[in-house]
Structure 1
Amino acid sequence: MKKLISMIALAGALIGAPAIAAESGHPLDAAPKMTSDLSTLQRGAKLFVNNCLNCHSASMVRYNRLKDIGLTEDQIRENLLFSADKVGETMNIAMTAKEAKAWFGVQPPDLSVIARARGGDWLYTYLRSFYKDDTRDTGWNNLIFPNVGMPHVMWEAQGIRKAKFEERADAHDASKTVHTFVGYEQVTPGTMKPIEFDQAMGDLVHFLQWMGEPAEHQRKRLGVWVLMFLGLFSILAWRLNASYWKDIK
């Protein structure tokens, strides 16, 4: 029953993903294209384990699956295995649902298929759109997910920014004004340069996309061979059919 409920919830998330992205009102930035470069996935795995896996689980992914991105079992055990005892275990967290409710107001979602539910562009923009907001309990807010309960975990890398807004006339009704975002004010610099932070978030998004379908590249490579086989088989079937019917009038 729990698995059935999870599948229904995931289906709802996938169906509602485009609407979620549109409701924010803030344009989405294009995430870097997903590639087969294993180094970007390894950097993304490091960012995920060190920054996301404290509160967010990935219960559909096992640590030993990271061998698919070029890591050895020893590397996984020594550098990434913080929330489990064995490499074959799933990426769960120690925080309970009750504790999460008390600390954040809501349980942080499992990130196993978050990239398939939200989309790479949404995640890439979200991770780079935090700004300082002293009216929030966490001290942070987000442009495309207003009043989000998640704090800016990687603020040290990006630095502290404040969002600047202006009251502008509504494009559809000149008698009304709209609270419009016009840019960021960098209060303190981060440990990374802006371009470096964007690249790091691209690596993290790549890893989240990989977790949603670890066998994607293998599936695409296999698909090429399947299409080649079907093409060859079609030619053979066509000639066999012609040979069979050539003496029949």
Structure 2
Amino acid sequence: MRFTVLGASGLIGTQVVERLGAGGHEVVPASLSTGVDVVSGKGLDDVLPGSEVLINLTNSPAFDASSIDFFETSMNTIGTAAERAGVRHEVILSIVGVDRVPQLDYYRAKAAQEEILASGPVPYSIVRATQFFEFVEAIMDWTTEGETVRLPTTPVQPMAAADVSAAVVATATGAPLRGVRNVGGPEVFPLDELGRITLGARPDGRQVVTDEQAGMFAAIAGDVLTAPEGTPLAPTYYREWLEHR
């Protein structure tokens, strides 16, 4: 099969390209660095023709309200180009619980991305993943003041980027779902506990203080960021990942 991967230079994109290639598939990697702009549409007509499957892993350059315009514009641009090229399956990567957090601009933007895909003419699949292991340190940095990291007790169910890319490839090589596939990590942690585990494995002088008002995840109540019951769980555990990273 021939695949076009948009956002091929990103964390998940590079792994998806590698996995597809290892599986014997023909892969066209595309990103801004290769001259493809999903907002203006530049380059799309060069990379989509001949591909049966389009995997869209592009992301907004910001997490604020501007992300809504990015996803709305890019999805309409990509959808038109994909239909023109005869693409038979379009896959995007989204977030578990994305439609339950309207108070966050970025989550509303990703929900809009899903809606545009689902209403378009190309058969589709949506992979919703929980938070990535690789983003935990960035989340901690957002709420660090001196040697204090402030984190809420929001439950999270993180997973390794390698397991996310495997789920994307498994979905993309199958028939279009015309719906959502959820994937999640094997364990649920309060976010503040996850921070303490991280600093326990990689001490840097900081300490975690529980603060229910700290950071963007403080706005998320309940178990919204954990995978729904019955979701297949990824095999990689956080402590093992920390040890072997």
TM-score tier (shorter): under 0.3
Higher relative contact order at CA 8 Å, sep ≥6: structure 1 or structure 2?
1
The structure with the larger Rg is 1
Higher helix share: 1
